[in-house]
Amino acid sequence: MVNINIAIPEDLHKKLKLASVMKNTTLKELIIQILEEKTRNKGA
């Protein structure tokens, strides 16, 4: 596993955090899932 540090807008962080709570998962796991789906759909 590789660690990355990024700055995101506060409103985006709030939206992602809320989505993670609604899906009963962690923010980290939600972001990993989103990134995996995005790269799978683009063939990257």
How far is it, in rounded angstroms, from Cα 19 to Cα 17?
A: 5
What is the pLDDT confidence band of residue 41, given thresholds at 50, 70 and 90? confident
How far is it, in rounded angstroms, from Cα 9 to Cα 30?
A: 17
How far is it, in rounded angstroms, from Cα 40 to Cα 17?
A: 23
Q: Which residues of 3-18 are buried (b: 16+ CB within 10 A; e: fewer)?
A: eeeeeeeeeeeeeeee
pLDDT tens profile 1-38: 999 999 999 999 999 999 999 999 999 999 999 999 99
Q: How is residue 31 annotated by DSSP? A: H
Q: With a threshold of 0.85, does the pTM exceed it?
A: no
